[in-house]
């Protein structure tokens, strides 16, 4: 089931009459069976978008389609959605089995599909066992939530959401209560479950690495506005603007102002990279892994004065100014370099991202 948002807008008005446009004219299509990340910093409108999809907020304007059906005016229970929040909200006095079965027992459509109570019990039994198997908690069905780890609780919450066989699964920061290791395990688990069930899934996160690692597509938002809709790799390799370039990647991209003169980007006074752009001032971004140490000087290379060096696993992390801005490179540790050295770099192909004064992408060289 694909999801289509058309000009979706949500304004909140406070008691003092100040207006916040939490979601601003959002138009996007999410393909059936995809896992899509809604990504952006705190307050960018991710959760509001998810709540609009869920029917928990009414849009100020715009429309939401699930497949060909306009669901904009439908209440949450009629949308065929499964919802998982960061605080799992499991029923503490019920067993895992009961937690998963509960929404089915209370579903009118499930009751009318299985009018005979014995038949209904058997159908519930089958669904609960199947779902438990998918999320790998079949050993835990008789436990209470308090007897489970955070990751197991999260899997129960997901099982409860998918037991109803929703058309769309909505996850709001589902991993934020887990410790670092469990986050990674559970996010892989979510990917596995999503691929196994094929349910179109929207996943809210502020963590770019999380979005990068499990989604098919990322919707990057800022101040209620969509910045880019693309595959994780595309947002990293070809960011639509300076905001996306900065948001994706850790350690972050290095940013600085540079002059272009006679077809060269000037870095630290050197003709660093050939770029067929008019002379003028530009914003430039270079990712830490794009620097390549070279021995020869000349056009297409530039020098830096190393201010700091550390060994990080197989790499050296070195810091130096680029046109006055503190910057960072990750280079292979078989290269000999010390603090205080002047070293020369060229850049990997397409390693320089050039933006205009507003931060919009011009291109890569
Ligand atoms: P976070 O990562 O912090 O949860 P978010 O990206 O999910 O942030 P939203 O919760 O969607 O952001 O909020 C977007 C904007 O709308 C924020 O400025 C927020 O203060 C505002 N907002 C959200 N809900 C309401 C509300 N019920 N009433 C008024 N303003 C709201």
Q: Is 43 in the pocket of ligand 1 (CB under 6 A)?
A: yes
The per-residue pLDDT for range 33-68, each reduced to its tens digit, is: 999 999 999 999 999 999 999 999 999 999 999 999
In angstroms, the CA 1 to CA 297 distance is 56
Question: Which protein residue's CA is at the shortest distance from atom 16 of ligand 1?
Answer: 22
| Terminal CA-CA length for the chain | 39
How many angstroms separate the alpha carbon of residue 341 from the centre of ligand 1? 48
Mean pLDDT, to the nearest integer, of 79-93? 88
- In this prediction, residue 193 carries a pLDDT of 87
Question: Which protein residue's CA is at the shortest distance from atom 30 of ligand 1?
Answer: 12
How many angstroms separate the alpha carbon of residue 37 from the centre of ligand 1? 17
Q: Is 20 in the pocket of ligand 1 (CB under 6 A)?
A: yes
- pLDDT value at 12 more than 90: yes
How many angstroms separate the alpha carbon of residue 265 from the centre of ligand 1? 40
- In this prediction, residue 274 carries a pLDDT of 95
How many angstroms separate the alpha carbon of residue 54 from the centre of ligand 1? 15
- In this prediction, residue 135 carries a pLDDT of 85
Query: What is the DSSP track for 89-156?
Result: ---TTS-HHHHHHHHHHT-HHHHHH--SHHHHHHHHHHHHHHHHHHTT-GGGTTS-GGGS-HHHHHHH
Of 44, 49, 87, 247, the residue with max ligand 1 atoms within 8 A of its CB, to mutate for a pocket test, comes to 44
Q: Is 22 in the pocket of ligand 1 (CB under 6 A)?
A: yes
- In this prediction, residue 186 carries a pLDDT of 84
Contacts of range 241-244, beta carbons closer than 8 Å, 24 or more positions apart: 241/355, 241/359, 241/360, 241/361, 242/283, 242/285, 242/355, 242/359, 242/360, 243/359, 244/220
Q: Is 206 in the pocket of ligand 1 (CB under 6 A)?
A: yes
Question: Which protein residue's CA is at the shortest distance from atom 29 of ligand 1?
Answer: 12
How many angstroms separate the alpha carbon of residue 12 from the centre of ligand 1? 9
Q: How many CB atoms lie within 10 A of CB 103?
A: 15
Q: Are 212 and 232 in contact (CB under 8 A)?
A: yes
Residues in the chain: 365
Strand pairing category for 200-205 and 168-172: parallel
Atom index in ligand 1 nearest the CA of residue 224 equals 14
- In this prediction, residue 313 carries a pLDDT of 87
Closest C-alpha to 273, from 170, 172, 352: 352
- In this prediction, residue 333 carries a pLDDT of 86
Q: Is 86 in the pocket of ligand 1 (CB under 6 A)?
A: no
Q: Are 247 and 285 in contact (CB under 8 A)?
A: no
The per-residue pLDDT for range 292-343, each reduced to its tens digit, is: 999 988 999 999 999 999 998 889 999 999 999 999 999 998 888 999 999 9
Mean pLDDT, to the nearest integer, of 72-99? 91
Range from 177-186, 240-249, 346-355 carrying the lowest mean pLDDT: 177-186
Q: How many CB atoms lie within 10 A of CB 196?
A: 11
The per-residue pLDDT for range 257-306, each reduced to its tens digit, is: 999 999 999 999 999 999 999 999 999 999 999 999 999 889 999 999 99
Question: Which protein residue's CA is at the shortest distance from atom 20 of ligand 1?
Answer: 43
Q: Are 9 and 49 in contact (CB under 8 A)?
A: no
The per-residue pLDDT for range 103-155, each reduced to its tens digit, is: 999 888 889 999 999 999 999 999 999 999 888 899 999 999 999 988 889 88
Q: Are 361 and 287 in contact (CB under 8 A)?
A: no
Strand pairing category for 35-39 and 217-222: parallel
- In this prediction, residue 288 carries a pLDDT of 97
Q: Are 217 and 194 in contact (CB under 8 A)?
A: no
With a threshold of 0.85, does the pTM exceed it? yes
How many angstroms separate the alpha carbon of residue 185 from the centre of ligand 1? 28
Question: Which protein residue's CA is at the shortest distance from atom 18 of ligand 1?
Answer: 43
Sorted by sequence, the CB contacts under 8 Å of residue 53 that are 6+ apart come out as: 3, 5, 64, 81, 168, 170, 202
- In this prediction, residue 285 carries a pLDDT of 98
Atom index in ligand 1 nearest the CA of residue 206 equals 2
Q: Are 283 and 359 in contact (CB under 8 A)?
A: yes
Q: Is 24 in the pocket of ligand 1 (CB under 6 A)?
A: no
Helix (H, G, I), strand (E, B) or coil at 195: helix
How many angstroms separate the alpha carbon of residue 313 from the centre of ligand 1? 39
Q: Are 304 and 320 in contact (CB under 8 A)?
A: yes
In angstroms, the CA 266 to CA 322 distance is 10
């Amino acid at each position: 089931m694909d999801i289509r948002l058309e000009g979706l807008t949500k304004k909140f008005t406070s008691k003092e009459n100040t207006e916040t446009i939490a979601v601003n004219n959002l138009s996007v299509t999410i393909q059936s069976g995809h896992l899509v990340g809604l990504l952006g910093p705190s307050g960018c409108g991710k959760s509001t978008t998810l709540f609009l999809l869920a029917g928990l907020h009414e849009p100020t304007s715009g429309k939401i389609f699930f497949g060909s059906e306009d669901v904009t005016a439908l209440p949450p229970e009629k949308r065929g959605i499964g919802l998982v929040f960061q605080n799992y909200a499991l029923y503490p006095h019920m067993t895992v089995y009961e937690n998963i079965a509960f929404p089915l027992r209370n579903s009118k459509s499930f009751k009318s599909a299985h009018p005979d109570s014995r038949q209904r019990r058997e159908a519930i039994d089958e669904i609960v066992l199947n779902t438990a198997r998918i999320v790998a908690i079949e050993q835990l069905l008789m436990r209470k939530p308090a007897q489970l780890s955070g990751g197991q609780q999260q899997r129960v919450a997901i099982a409860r959401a998918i037991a109803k066989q929703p058309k769309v699964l909505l996850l709001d920061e589902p991993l934020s209560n887990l410790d670092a290791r469990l986050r990674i395990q559970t996010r892989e688990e979510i990917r596995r479950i999503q691929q196994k069930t094929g349910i179109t899934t929207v996943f809210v996160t502020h963590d770019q690495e999380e979005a990068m690692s499990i989604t098919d597509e990322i919707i990057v938002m800022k101040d209620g506005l969509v910045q880019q809709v693309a595959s994780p790799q595309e947002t990293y390799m070809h960011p639509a603007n300076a905001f996306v370039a900065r948001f994706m990647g850790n350690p972050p991209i290095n940013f600085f102002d540079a002059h272009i003169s006679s077809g060269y980007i000037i870095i630290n006074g050197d003709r660093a990279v050939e770029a067929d752009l008019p002379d003028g001032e530009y914003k430039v971004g270079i990712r830490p892994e794009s620097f390549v140490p070279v021995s020869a000087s000349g056009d297409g290379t530039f020098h830096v004065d190393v201010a700091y060096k550390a060994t990080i696993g197989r790499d050296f992390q070195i810091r130096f100014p680029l046109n006055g801005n503190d910057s960072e490179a990750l280079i292979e540790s078989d290269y000999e370099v010390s603090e205080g050295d002047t070293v020369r770099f060229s850049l990997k192909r397409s390693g320089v991202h050039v933006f205009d004064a507003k931060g919009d992408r011009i291109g890569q060289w």
